[in-house]
């Protein structure tokens, strides 16, 4: 439902503001704009408030740019008019959107909700500026199935534990919430762009960015890319429960970046997963559960915005983390994949080289940073925020707080991932490690998970020298575990 109570009907002209919803099908705000207005202009703003602080090489900016080229073409195709399409601006969105709305002479601006704290501040500013010009601002739910306060306990409070939330989610969900918006019925309302705005999507260079390795990684962009990945995953969905934990196996959907930027519809994904689950697919049930986690973390962020900087469980903010020069050196070794723990280093090589990290490995490296190195989870959260193609504030924050035991429904503080047994269990043949840490490729399967425990003769036979070809471990896991239990003892005292 719109966040404004004002209802629109046959508005002469509207502006659809795309943000994290870069598709021309099953898009809530686009549907309502087209249905309500006789003419609809479409805009995307490369927001300087965000872009100016990014490194000049950023795969996400390239992903968005390529996806906008596709969206622009899709809008022109469905409108049947080469002059239609997307107006793309490079400016501060909070200033640009009201100015553009006035210049185009629209009466309403339409957008989908973005509940991140900075986005809410931006949208409040836009709403005020538009109101000053007599222009309405309508926003809609599009990024999740259930948001904000749609799933509450019987006491009317937000859930803080996932399983009861999931049960309530599954009880509430039905065709109404999973139904797609029939955008195609109303595309005749798409307006031709005024001549001044009939310009192509800016190049990366025009935005001040450089090309990344996105194309060589074969990351498909735009809604066709998202749909192709989803079709590919559909054939594997039934086995997801068996394959999802093994990084060397093609188990995941790889749709994270598409969910992040809305080049797929969450309703289409959840509906398919739900129907497959009802048909008895265990894999689909587990995958749907991952989508429900996403909704869960978004409602946590909505009800508890303080989690952006603080622990969900306040007592965990009493923990004293390592913070001296030694801590910074340990953190640098973690970032650069030279901890001496092969699975951890392979995972960090994966994120550094591709902007993607397998979900099981996100848990392993987070546990290692926090509970083996004693470093504040916020350091790791920031690193992921800078490097993940699919970085999403709610999910990233929730995942890091889960790993550090400070979040809702968290891993108990005394449960600490062992990086060696995780490696032996989930990369048993060392295939993933060999791919991302080629220095270890010659080692036997027995030795590759913990080279420092291998017999010297075996290392010599492989032409491998520990400390030269690959670092020795920067911490002893057993000792680190004991220190962590001491560090977390403060939590027990506070309870």
Residues designated as active site? 290, 293, 321, 359, 377, 400
Q: What are the backbone dihedrals phi and psi of residue 429, each rounded to the nearest 5 degrees, phi first? A: -95, 0
* Short-list 167, 101, 163, 89, CA closest to 135: 101
CB 444 within 8 A of CB 458: yes
* Short-list 35, 60, 287, CA closest to 140: 35
What is the rounded end-to-end Cα distance, in angstroms, of the chain?
Answer: 41
Helix (H) or strand (E) holding 145: none
CB 151 within 8 A of CB 169: yes
How far is it, in rounded angstroms, from Cα 374 to Cα 326? 11
How far is it, in rounded angstroms, from Cα 41 to Cα 28? 16
**Which structure tokens are listed for 456?**
């010297």
**Which structure tokens are listed for 481?**
């575990």
* Short-list 448, 446, 443, CA closest to 461: 443
Q: What is the dihedral of CA 199, 48, 217, 68, to 10 degrees?
A: -30
Q: What are the backbone dihedrals phi and psi of residue 69, each rounded to the nearest 5 degrees, phi first? A: -60, -45
């Amino acid at each position: 439902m719109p966040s404004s109570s004002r209802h629109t009907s046959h508005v002469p002209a509207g502006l659809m503001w795309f943000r994290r919803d870069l598709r021309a099908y099953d898009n809530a705000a686009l549907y309502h704009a087209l249905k309500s207005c006789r003419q609809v202009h479409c805009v995307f703003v490369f927001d300087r408030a965000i872009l100016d602080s990014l490194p000049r090489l950023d795969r996400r900016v390239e992903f968005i740019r390529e996806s906008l080229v596709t969206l622009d073409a899709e809008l022109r195709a469905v409108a049947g008019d080469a002059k239609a399409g997307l107006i793309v601006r490079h400016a501060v969105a909070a200033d640009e959107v009201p100015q553009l709305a006035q210049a185009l002479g629209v009466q309403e601006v339409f957008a989908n909700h973005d509940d991140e704290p900075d986005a809410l501040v931006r949208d409040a500013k836009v709403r005020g500026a538009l109101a000053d010009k007599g222009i309405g601002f309508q926003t809609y739910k599009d990024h999740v199935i259930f948001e904000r306060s749609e799933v509450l306990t019987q006491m009317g409070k937000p859930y803080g534990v996932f399983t009861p939330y999931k049960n309530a989610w599954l009880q509430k969900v039905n065709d109404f919430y999973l139904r797609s918006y029939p955008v195609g019925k109303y595309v005749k309302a798409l307006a031709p762009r005024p001549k001044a705005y009939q310009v192509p999507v800016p190049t990366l260079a025009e935005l001040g960015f450089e090309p990344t390795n996105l194309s060589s990684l074969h990351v498909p962009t735009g809604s066709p890319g998202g749909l192709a990945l989803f079709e590919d995953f559909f054939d594997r969905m039934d086995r997801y429960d068996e394959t999802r934990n093994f990084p060397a196996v093609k188990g995941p959907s790889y749709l994270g970046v598409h969910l992040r930027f809305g080049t797929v519809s969450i309703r289409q994904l959840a509906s398919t997963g739900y129907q497959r689950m009802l048909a008895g697919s265990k894999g689909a049930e587990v995958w749907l559960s991952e989508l429900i986690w996403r909704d869960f973390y978004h409602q946590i962020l909505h009800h508890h915005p303080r989690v952006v900087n603080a622990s969900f469980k306040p007592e965990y903010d009493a923990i004293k983390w390592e913070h001296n020069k030694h801590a910074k050196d340990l953190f640098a070794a973690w970032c650069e994949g030279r901890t001496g723990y092969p699975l951890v280093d392979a995972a960090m090589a994966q994120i550094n080289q591709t902007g993607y990290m397998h979900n099981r490995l996100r848990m392993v490296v987070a546990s290692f940073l926090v509970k083996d190195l004693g470093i504040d989870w916020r350091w790791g959260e920031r690193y992921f925020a800078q490097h993940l193609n699919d970085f999403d504030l709610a999910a990233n924050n929730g995942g890091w707080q889960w790993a550090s035991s400070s979040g809702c429904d968290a891993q108990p503080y005394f449960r600490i991932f062992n990086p060696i047994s995780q490696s032996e269990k989930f990369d048993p043949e060392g295939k993933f490690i060999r791919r991302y840490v080629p220095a270890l490729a010659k080692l036997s399967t027995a030795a590759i998970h913990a080279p420092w425990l291998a017999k010297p003769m075996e290392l010599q036979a492989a032409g491998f020298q520990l400390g030269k070809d690959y670092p020795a471990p920067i911490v002893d896991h057993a000792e680190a575990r004991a220190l962590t239990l001491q560090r977390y003892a403060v939590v027990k005292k506070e309870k």
